[in-house]
Structure 1
Amino acid sequence: MGVTVKGLSAAAAAEMIAPGLDTYAPTFFSPGEWAFVLAATDRLIPAEGRGPGALETNVPVFIDQQLASDLGSEIYLEGPFPANPPPTMGYQIPFTPQQIYRTAIKAVNAWCQEKHRDNFAVLDAPVQNDVLKKLQSGEVDFRAYGEDILKSKQFFGELLGHTKQGYLADPIYGGNKGMKAWIAIGFPGARASYVEWVTQHNVKYPLGPVSVSGQRG
């Protein structure tokens, strides 16, 4: 049972406090970049799924705030950078996350203009899905648009990873608005103690999630 204050659940109160996408002013993204991120995350976690979508949970806000912070600009960038490193080598791109988004979104929109005569954000959803699949498979060649280092599949991996993080992270980081994603999957969040539940096997946990900030769902 969720906690209520004057008839309003804490999850509902948290959603009221969180910024709405229609009024949020991006800190890092330009208007064109913001339109891309809104459209792309909406296709990666669409609202028509079994749980809330990326836009319902403020995933774009999470990405914008993370890129605007030190996490977007401060990262170890000492080479060498292997051209085709194995996945076990981790981050092997001589770009900060900020540079990845700025460079890639410009290239993706140029590719969409060439192939579909419009930017990604205004294409129909099925076409957007196809573009994202081509990014994932590396079929969109950024070299044709002046980028010789960053590959489309590298950008897709970064975008998908940040979308997942924004969907499932604690709301204090800007995403998971109203803890909707946690509620959908039954995740209890940052509760301090589970001592009374240690011996209760095969019993569904009945309490809603709790944010690091103390908000309760």
Structure 2
Amino acid sequence: MLAVVPAASVATGAAISQSACSESPGPQSANAGNVGPYKPNYFTADEWKFVQAAVDRLIPEDELGPGALKAGVPEYIDRQMDTPYGHGKLWYMQGPFHPDVPAELGFQMNLAPRDIYRLGVKACDEYCKKQYGGKAFADLSKEDQESLLGQMEHAKLSFDAVPARTFFSYLLNNTKEGFFADPIYGGNKGMVGWKMVGFPGARADFADWIDQPGVKYPYGPVSIDGRRG
């Protein structure tokens, strides 16, 4: 069963991966030319449809808050693909590679995150078209999308180009990052993730509330660039 993350509880157990937020485009580039819908720089049109559909199932909008789409998570992921993180520059990427060894021995693939997305989306869409009468992942029902994501999560699907579970892991972690990262990186639009959990963001002083568990923080969050939520 897919571990869908309800918007109201998305922070619980959210393991943030080694993304390149500190290496991502700064506030100016993240906001420059922000007229109309965001146009992806890395993902193709079909890949973009997949990413939008997938993150919408991982953090769906519910009665307690907006989901990944309204938070701009797809934009965050697309921007990450053109950072040192996306290009695999933040860790050792030379062989030999031993993908069957325990995870404690570190990353063991010759694929950067951007490659994992490209190959993973293609493999998943090809599988869907074979199993669902020519339909790509984005064209399936929400129930079928969740079923497929669950199969990927639990390694019940097998892709030749990239392990399905590895692809899902990147997709899930990057989705959670995009929901909670500072808005200067493209996601967490309107600081919806921070507002949901009462996080103050980059406020200079919130020490008075640290030792008051259960007391709601009375002020809205602030982004690194000074924007207020």
Q: What TM-score bracket applies, with the shorter chain setting the length? A: 0.7 to 0.9
SS where residue 73 of structure 1 aligns?
Answer: coil
1:45 to 59, 68, 74: 59
1:179 to 181, 185, 191: 191
The 1-side partners of 2:61 and 2:213 are apart by: 33
Could you say if the C-alpha distance between residues 200 and 47 of structure 1 is closer, same or farther in structure 2, counting changes exceeding 3 Å? Answer: closer
SS where residue 210 of structure 1 aligns?
Answer: coil
Could you say if the C-alpha distance between residues 193 and 50 of structure 1 is closer, same or farther in structure 2, counting changes exceeding 3 Å? Answer: same
Q: In the alignment, what sits opposite 2:47? A: 33
Say yes or no: does 1:204 pair with 2:216: yes
1:69 to 73, 83, 94: 83
Q: In the alignment, what sits opposite 2:13? A: none
CA shift for structure 1 position 89: 2.9
Q: In the alignment, what sits opposite 2:111? A: 95
The 2-side partners of 1:204 and 1:99 are apart by: 42
> Does the 8 Å contact 1:132/1:156 carry over to 2?
yes
| Unaligned 5+ runs, structure 2 | 1-30
SS where residue 187 of structure 2 aligns?
Answer: coil
Could you say if the C-alpha distance between residues 160 and 190 of structure 1 is closer, same or farther in structure 2, counting changes exceeding 3 Å? Answer: same
Q: In the alignment, what sits opposite 1:214? A: 226
> Does the 8 Å contact 2:70/2:189 carry over to 1?
yes
CA shift for structure 1 position 192: 1.4
2:152 to 131, 135, 146: 135
How many corresponding residue pairs?
A: 196
CA RMSD of aligned residues (A): 2.2
CA shift for structure 1 position 90: 3.6
SS where residue 37 of structure 1 aligns?
Answer: helix
Look up the equivalent residue of 1:42 and give its one-letter code.
D
Could you say if the C-alpha distance between residues 185 and 203 of structure 1 is closer, same or farther in structure 2, counting changes exceeding 3 Å? Answer: closer
CA shift for structure 1 position 78: 1.4
The 1-side partners of 2:195 and 2:33 are apart by: 16
2:177 to 165, 184, 188: 165
SS where residue 142 of structure 1 aligns?
Answer: coil
Q: In the alignment, what sits opposite 2:21? A: none
| Unaligned 5+ runs, structure 1 | 1-15
Structure 1 window deviating more from structure 2 (194-203 vs 72-81): it is 194-203
Q: Whose radius of gyration is greater, 1 or 2? A: 1
Could you say if the C-alpha distance between residues 71 and 109 of structure 1 is closer, same or farther in structure 2, counting changes exceeding 3 Å? Answer: same
SS where residue 131 of structure 1 aligns?
Answer: helix
- Please, what TM-score do these two structures have when normalized by structure 2? 0.79
> Does the 8 Å contact 2:120/2:167 carry over to 1?
yes
Could you say if the C-alpha distance between residues 138 and 196 of structure 1 is closer, same or farther in structure 2, counting changes exceeding 3 Å? Answer: closer
Could you say if the C-alpha distance between residues 70 and 83 of structure 1 is closer, same or farther in structure 2, counting changes exceeding 3 Å? Answer: closer
Q: Describe the superposition over 1:98-138 as per-residue Cα deviations: whole angstroms up to 9, x where unpaired.
A: 11011111100000011112100010000000010111111
Q: In the alignment, what sits opposite 2:201? A: 189
